[in-house]
Amino acid sequence: MLGYVIRRILLAIPTALGVLTVIFIVMRIAPGDPAEVILGEYASQEAVEALRKELGLDQPLWKQYVDFVGGLFKGDLGKSPINGQSVSLLVARSLPYSLELSLAGIGLGVLFGLPMGILAAVRRNSFFDYASRVFSLLGLSFPTFYLGVLLLLLFGIKLNLFPVVGGGDLSNIADNLYHLFLPALTMGLIMMAYVSRMARSSILNVLNEDYVKTARAKGLRERAVLYKHVLKNALIPIVSIVGVYSVVLIGGTIMVELVFSRPGMGKMMIGAMKQRDYITIQSLMVIYAGLVIIVNLLTDLTYGFIDPRIKYD
């Protein structure tokens, strides 16, 4: 088990370097000179050259790459050429809002989706099973931003129960949760649909296995059979879908933050794209890529904890 964990963590290092390299190349081969895009088409050649020097774009490509990776290891994401502020400080203010939204959406999806899928499988072809399948189908069909707009109109504007803009004060837990509820519910409902559907399918497959029939033949209680034999062996596909959709959810925070005007990295990303803020866009892409790598790493490590027989070859 320890060997599997160490190998998987070591494998994440070249993966991260590969992703950083791809981001670096994509930002360099994108159409248009970043300096000209930032200053506008009427800027003088002297101003463009000065900004290129300030951004380090006049350096050889290998030197730019070394500075880019070296700055990341130092925690320096550079300065925004638009407002002159440190991107690291801007990310530090925005990242907590995006993280809490992602974690809350994943938490709600697993907390309610897993029991729903278990009950639907145990009570197959019952009213609850049909209702949960309809809910799952609706959840899979709704785009995140559209569901967010519907919840905002209903609970924020029509019923006036929750705020429609802002992220709340992070130092005030009550105010923070009050602003977080609707965005988290938006993401959690869709996450529930994925988790419950996969949980139902996975548990139904395990219920037909011979070892489950043997456990029942030995006289074990149905609850013991379900939790000790069925659920444990059905967790791998469930963890897989949680990991995969968590990655989707991280990207989905961008649209949700726009709908609810939350001061997260998604809103920051859109603002940087509108202003052609080359440094900020590059830094945010690195942050999002890092979060995806961490989620995939945690998913793989969870496999090893669920089933110690899993090895990395």
Instruction: Find the radius of gyration of the CA atoms of the chain.
Output: 24
CA 263 to centroid of chain Cα atoms: 16
Task: Find, among 212, 157, 145, the residue nearest to 183 by Cα.
Answer: 145
Task: Find, among 177, 157, 161, the residue nearest to 169 by Cα.
Answer: 177
Does pTM surpass 0.85? no
The domains of the chain are located at 92-275
Angle between helices 231-259 and 173-207 (to 10 degrees): 140
Residue 111's pLDDT is 92
What distance in Å separates the CA atoms of residue 263 and residue 98, rounded to the nearest whole number? Answer: 8
What distance in Å separates the CA atoms of residue 203 and residue 192, rounded to the nearest whole number? Answer: 16
**DSSP secondary-structure letter at 74?**
T
* 3-state helix vs strand vs coil in the chain, percent to 5: 80, 0, 20
DSSP state string for 277-288: -HHHHHHHHHHH
Three-class DSSP category at 124: coil
Residue 165's pLDDT is 84
Fold of 92-275: MetI-like fold (1.10.3720)
Tens-digit pLDDT string for the chain (313 aa): 667 677 777 888 888 888 888 888 887 777 766 777 677 667 777 777 787 777 777 778 788 888 888 888 887 787 887 777 888 888 888 889 988 998 999 999 999 999 998 888 888 888 988 898 888 888 888 888 888 889 999 898 888 888 888 888 888 888 888 989 999 999 999 889 889 988 888 888 888 777 777 877 777 777 777 877 788 788 888 888 888 888 888 888 888 888 888 888 888 888 888 777 878 888 888 888 888 888 888 888 887 777 666 655 5
